[in-house]
C-alpha cells in the first residue's frame, strides 16, 4: 500500500544502519554513511521535507536495523470504545498507546500507555492483532513499524487525559471522531469491535 520509493528508501537506510553497526573498514563506513544519506534525501525529496531533519532521525538509529513496536489498547465500556485526543496531532483521536519501552513486556507497555494517556488501570486479556504498519493505509513514516493491538479490561481509575492527551471519551462504532490516522485507522477500530464482540476470534497478523 505504500509507495515503492518509500519501501526502497527504508531498506537502503536499514542496510546503511546495519552496515555501520558491524563494519570495521573505514571505506565501507563511508559507503554505508552514503547509503544513509541517499535514503534521507529520497524521503525528503518525495515527501517535501528537510533532508537534514531526516538525516538527524537516521543518525539517532544505531545497531542492527529492526522494526519499531507500537502498542495500542482497545478498552470497552457499555459497547463503546475508549479513545484519547492527541495534543500532537491537532486534536485528532486514537486508541491509547505509543512506542513500547525497553524493559517492559508488550502487556506492561500497553498497561502503562492506557494509564498515562487515559487515567485508567487495565488488564490486557487478548492480543487481538499484530499488524505490519506498511500493509495498512497509514500516512508514510521513515521507519518500519509493527503495531500490537490488545483488548483490555478496566480494573480501576477514572478517565482523565495525560500530558500527551487533551481528552478522553468512549465512542460507538458509528460515531467515531476524526482519527489520528498515523496512529489508528477506522478499519482497525472496527476489528477491535469485532474481537470484543466475538472473543474467540483468532489473533490477526500482518
pLDDT confidence of residue 131: 98
Q: Which of 2-16, 82-96, 104-118 has the lowest mean pLDDT?
A: 2-16
Q: Which of 1-5, 59-63, 157-161 has the lowest mean pLDDT?
A: 1-5
Q: Which of 41-55, 69-83, 114-128, 142-156 has the lowest mean pLDDT?
A: 41-55
pLDDT at position 133 over 80? yes
Q: Minimal CA–CA distance to 54: which of 32, 36, 66? A: 36
| Domain spans of the chain, in order of start | 4-59, 68-205
C-alpha angle with apex 45: 42 to 51, nearest 5 degrees?
Answer: 80
Residues 190, 173: Cα–Cα separation, whole Å? 7
pLDDT at position 115 over 90? yes
pLDDT at position 1 over 80? no
Reported confidence tier of residue 192, pLDDT bands at 50, 70, 90: very high
Q: Which three cell numbers stand for residue 16?
A: 546503511
DSSP secondary structure code for residue 137 in this structure: T
pLDDT at position 31 over 90? yes
pLDDT at position 176 over 80? yes
* Beta strand pairing call for 204-205 and 97-99: unpaired
pLDDT confidence of residue 90: 93
pLDDT confidence of residue 47: 82
pLDDT at position 194 over 80? yes
Residues 173, 175: Cα–Cα separation, whole Å? 6
Residues 38, 9: Cα–Cα separation, whole Å? 8
Could you tell me the pTM of the whole model?
Answer: 0.85
pLDDT at position 2 over 90? no
> Mean pLDDT, the chain, as a whole number?
95
Q: How many CA atoms lie within 13 A of 169 on its CB side?
A: 14
The answer to whether the CB of 183 falls within 8 A of the CB of 83 is: no
The answer to whether the CB of 98 falls within 8 A of the CB of 113 is: yes
**Could you count the other beta carbons within 10 Å of the beta carbon of residue 167?**
16
pLDDT confidence of residue 46: 87
Q: DSSP labels for 103-143? A: T--HHHHHHHHHHHHH-EEEEEEEEEEEEEGGGTTPPP-SS
Q: Minimal CA–CA distance to 171: which of 81, 86, 75, 77? A: 81
pLDDT at position 70 over 90? yes
pLDDT confidence of residue 121: 98
pLDDT confidence of residue 57: 87
**Backbone φ, ψ for residue 129 (5° rounding):** -155, 145
pLDDT confidence of residue 48: 84
Between 3.90.79.10, 3.40.50.1400, 1.10.10.10, 3.30.70.1290, what CATH number should domain 68-205 receive? 3.90.79.10
pLDDT at position 146 over 90? yes
Amino acid at each position: 500500500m505504500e509507495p515503492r520509493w518509500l519501501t526502497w528508501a527504508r531498506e537502503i537506510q536499514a542496510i546503511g544502519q546495519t552496515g555501520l553497526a558491524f563494519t570495521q573498514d573505514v571505506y565501507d563506513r563511508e559507503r554505508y554513511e552514503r547509503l544513509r544519506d541517499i535514503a534521507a534525501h529520497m524521503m525528503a525529496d518525495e515527501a517535501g521535507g528537510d533532508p537534514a531533519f531526516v538525516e538527524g532521525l537516521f543518525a539517532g538509529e544505531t545497531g542492527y536495523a529492526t522494526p519499531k513496536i507500537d502498542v495500542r489498547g482497545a478498552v470497552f465500556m457499555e459497547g463503546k470504545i475508549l479513545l484519547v485526543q492527541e495534543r500532537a496531532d491537532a486534536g485528532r483521536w486514537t486508541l491509547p498507546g505509543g512506542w513500547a519501552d525497553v524493559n517492559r513486556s508488550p502487556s506492561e507497555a500497553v498497561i502503562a500507555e492506557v494509564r498515562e494517556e487515559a487515567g485508567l488501570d487495565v488488564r490486557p486479556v487478548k492480543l487481538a492483532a499484530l499488524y505490519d504498519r506498511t500493509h495498512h493505509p497509514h500516512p508514510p513514516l521513515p521507519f518500519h513499524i509493527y503495531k500490537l493491538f490488545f483488548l483490555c479490561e478496566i480494573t480501576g481509575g477514572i478517565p482523565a487525559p495525560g500530558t500527551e492527551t487533551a481528552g478522553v471519551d468512549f465512542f460507538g462504532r458509528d460515531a467515531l471522531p476524526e482519527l489520528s490516522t498515523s496512529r489508528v485507522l477506522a478499519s482497525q477500530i472496527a476489528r477491535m469491535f469485532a474481537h470484543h464482540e466475538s472473543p474467540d476470534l483468532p489473533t490477526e497478523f500482518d
